[in-house]
Structure 1
Amino acid sequence: MQLTFTAPLWQWEMRSDSWWFVSVPQDLSDDLAALPLPPRGFGSIRVRVTVGSTTWSTSVFPSDREKCYVLPVKKAVRTKEGLTPDEPVSVALETVDV
């Protein structure tokens, strides 16, 4: 499954030192939730993500607080792509191993 969306970058208040995310919009999170889940922890789904010119592999996770899937965005990506808090991030996301 391939998804594209734009959503703001936000910081998880419980670990403000390093945990930054982009929330997958609700309608797309519903599409992800309908996929058969592999036997991995926390309901995570493996994905390949592109933001700007950077592509990496990670997982999206369901968030009870956000009521959607959330995409972690590592510091190297934030720095390389010049991402700033609360600003929109354009994301291309492709599920893998589903």
Structure 2
Amino acid sequence: MVKNNYQFTSNVWEYSGKGAWIFVTVPQNVSSEIRNSFKEYEEGWGRLKIDAKIGKTNWKTAIWFDSKNQTYLLPLKSEIRKKENILLNSEIEVIISI
């Protein structure tokens, strides 16, 4: 598989359901490009393994395809938010590598 990098800016938001997960949404145009190129590598529920970078923090994670909005969601663990001082509703720059 060829490694592709995608850079985007997105707002941090909290899922209102059970668990209070914090996410950033991968923009529609980037999500479409990723899905067209890498759908065959998705696991159950549209999970796609990636490397992510915010600020100086790199980590291995996954994005999840949101079929309702036709975009991928990147969950932000507490550890990452603390390291990079990420607050809800803030706009952040993200780089993901697939």
2:24 aligned residue: 22
Q: Which of 2, 7, 13 does residue 4 from structure 1 map onto?
A: 7
CA RMSD of aligned residues (A): 1.4
Q: Which of 45, 50, 70 does residue 47 from structure 1 map onto?
A: 50
How many residues are paired up?
94
State the 1:45 CA deviation: 1.0
Q: Which of 78, 81, 84 does residue 81 from structure 1 map onto?
A: 84
Distance change (3 Å), C-alpha of 1:79 and 1:12: same
Q: Which of 70, 73, 82 does residue 70 from structure 1 map onto?
A: 73
Distance in 1 separating the partners of 2:68 and 2:23: 13
State the 1:36 CA deviation: 3.9
Distance change (3 Å), C-alpha of 1:82 and 1:42: same
Identity %: 26
Unaligned runs of 5+ in 2: none
Unaligned runs of 5+ in 1: none
Distance in 1 separating the partners of 2:51 and 2:42: 18
Answer yes or no: is the 8 Å Cα contact 2:52–2:94 preserved in 1. Answer: yes
Runs of 4+ with deviation above 6 angstroms: none
Superposition TM-score, scaled by structure 2 size: 0.88
State the 1:39 CA deviation: 5.8
Letter aligned with residue 22 of structure 2: W
Superposition TM-score, scaled by structure 1 size: 0.88
Answer yes or no: is the 8 Å Cα contact 1:37–1:45 preserved in 2. Answer: no
Letter aligned with residue 42 of structure 1: W
